[in-house]
Amino acid sequence: MIFLRPASLYLSLLAGVILLLYLLRTRTGRREVATLFLWKGLHSGRTAPARRLRLLVDPLLILQLLALLFIVLSLAEPTLQTGSASRIAILIDGSASMRTIADGEHSRYELAVKRAIALLDEGRAGRAAVISLSDHPRILVGPEGPRDEAAEALASSRPGWYADASPSDLSRMIAAIGGEGEFDRAVLFSDRPFPDPPPFLETIAITGGENGGITAFTIREDPAAGGVDAFVRVDNYGGEDRAGRLRISDGADSVEMAILIPSGSSEDYVIPFPTSRSVSFTAALEPADDFPADDIRYFALARPIELSVRWVGTPDRYLLAALRAAVPVRLVGEGADLTVIYDADPPPDVTGDVLLVHAGMPGIVRLGGDGGGGDVLALAPDHPLLAGVRPADLRVWSVPFLDSIAPGDVLLTAAGRPFLVEFTEGGRRVWFLASELAATNLPVTVDLPILVQNIVRRVIRLPAPLDYRWAVVGAGIPLRGSGEPVDSVVGPDGGPIRILPGQAAFFPPVPGEYRLVTKRGTYPVGVNVPLSESLPPPVIEPGEDRVARLGGPAGLRPLWPILAGLAAFLLVVEWFAYARVDPFQRRPR
């Protein structure tokens, strides 16, 4: 005989409470009588042993203790083993789609757990193995696990963010727990049953909830005009039209548009984002539906998040601090997004945009001798480069004369000479600041970081490689994809992810933006829920759950109904004995 719920035996400690209450009950009391002479002849010696035993042992107490014993034994579910103990393998779908809210309150996974625990209770299994099945399957309870342990593991488990399992994943996990011959039943709870399941597998479909989501999202840069274009595809698999907003964000700014997706249809959108200079983006549908995981998607361009800056000439800590306050900066020797030439001649191999500070550049501007200072005037106050800048607060004590200057947008003048000019030359921008910062009050004003931030926003960064592949949860991401070994990986929550020495790839466990930190810069990686999890589950009619059995009927015979009946009988007898009523005695006439 085995107990399927042995923890219930601890309830037998309640017998101590019954005994304590019995001992505390008053055994004797005072009685008023008419006379005492009738009591004088009674024997006043010691009470006979048999009478003392009857006084100490109350029949009602015995009945109560026996009833408690049978109740505790019935709760422990004793089972007579007539053959081999019944074993069941529970396989629960742990893929991302099981997070879908099925009934307005509970997810598909929560409903699957409830049905799995109910199956364990109904089946009276002696042992149970539990497997979380996805393309990254896990054994939650081994093949020798008690049923209570299996139920606890199911109740505390959570679905992952992975794709559905394949038939090979199923076979591999069944083999890992001993093979199909080790179990009397193998039951799969899933919202996407296998199209051609093996004969030994029972399938219980868990459905409910409607979904639609972003099924394609990519970003393409526009080096000529600046900014990016977002390409988005939205599918609506639900039974009703979906109205909402589609928002594209780069972490600092966002653009959005209203959308209406008819039921069962797909719509493509091209959303210009001309002001963005970021490398990582998100696309979000608002409001979210029953499966919010695919209502937000991540994408990252294949280049570092830092602005690569090449510095030529005299170092200036004020200008460098303003650059680093505006954007993460990585100083490089070549291949820069922005070259700063400070009071020096430009090198012949300049690439990208250029910031000239008290410096000339062939074909653009050539400096003459320095002259006196003067008032600063804004010739184009509405230009984006002057947004937030107050020219009236600027002071300049020395402005050079210019021997030559190419056509450009003169934004500020000082002493009647160009002080801040923007040029567009050969697909790049060149900004000219005539004076050294030490000849102005810019280092002690808030205008310098504002001006530098406006310049950074207009930098035409070197285009990223044309790589528009998605990274998905659970798929390996190479740790040398940027050409340099990855020093560390930062997760979506900002925390570090441990990398072992010699590790070639890491497998992101959740969707979000990851960052690969290398000596060449920090490279963002957008990781998404697999597209397969957005697809609606197959239509399953009620009653189509597939039932199969590995072996014959379980070799267990439950004994708890008999014990429960005996406990009920003893409680009835105890009640009649307490009431001192004989139910079989006839009422006198």
CATH number of the domain that residue 136 is part of: 3.40.50.410
What is the domain extent for residue 312? 307-457
The residue out of 457, 488, 510 marking a domain boundary is 457
- Does some domain include residue 6? no
- Whether 493 is covered by a domain: the verdict is yes
Does 202 lie in the same domain as 144?
yes
Stated pTM of the model: 0.70
Tell whether omega for the bond before 287 is within 30 degrees of 0, i.e. cis: yes
Residue 549 lies in a domain: yes
Residue 228 lies in a domain: yes
pLDDT in the model for residue 588: 44
Measured at the CA of 198, the angle between CA 192 and CA 204, to 5 degrees, comes to 40
Q: Is residue 5 part of a domain?
A: no
Q: Indicate which CATH number applies to the domain containing 255.
A: 2.60.40.10
- Is residue 313 domain-shared with residue 380, that is, in the same domain? yes
- List the end-to-end C-alpha distance of the chain, in Å, as a whole number: 53
150, part of any domain: yes
Q: Are residues 317 and 452 in the same domain?
A: yes
Assigned domain for 222 exists: yes
Q: Which residues, other chains included, contact 504 with Cβ-Cβ below 8 Å and sequence gap of 6+?
A: 478, 479, 480
Q: In this structure, are 490 and 440 located in the same domain?
A: no
- Are 249 and 332 in the same domain? no
What is the structure's pLDDT at 44?
Answer: 52
Based on the domain organization, do 395 and 262 belong to the same domain?
no
- Predicted confidence at residue 61, as pLDDT, reads 78
Same domain, 440 and 314: yes
- pLDDT digits over 202-234, tens only? 899 998 898 999 999 999 887 666 788 999 999
Same domain, 240 and 276: yes
Task: Tell me if 248 is assigned to some domain.
Answer: yes
Q: What is the pLDDT of residues 478-496, one digit of tens each?
A: 887 656 788 899 999 999 9
**Residue 287 confidence (pLDDT) above 60:** yes
CA-to-CA distance for 1 and 4, rounded, in angstroms? 10
Q: What are the pLDDT digits (tens) for 123-173?
A: 555 689 999 999 999 999 998 888 889 999 999 999 999 999 999 999 999
The yes-or-no verdict on residue 82 having pLDDT over 60 is no
Q: Does one domain contain both 403 and 475? A: no
**What residue has token string 């190479």?**
478
Other beta carbons within 10 angstroms of residue 348's beta carbon come to: 6
69/76 Cα distance (integer angstroms) = 11
Task: Say how many domains are in the chain.
Answer: 4
Q: How many Å apart are CA 589 and CA 586, to the nearest integer?
A: 9
For 505-522, what is each residue's pLDDT tens digit? Answer: 999 999 999 999 988 889
Report pLDDT digits (tens) over 547-559.
443 333 344 567 7
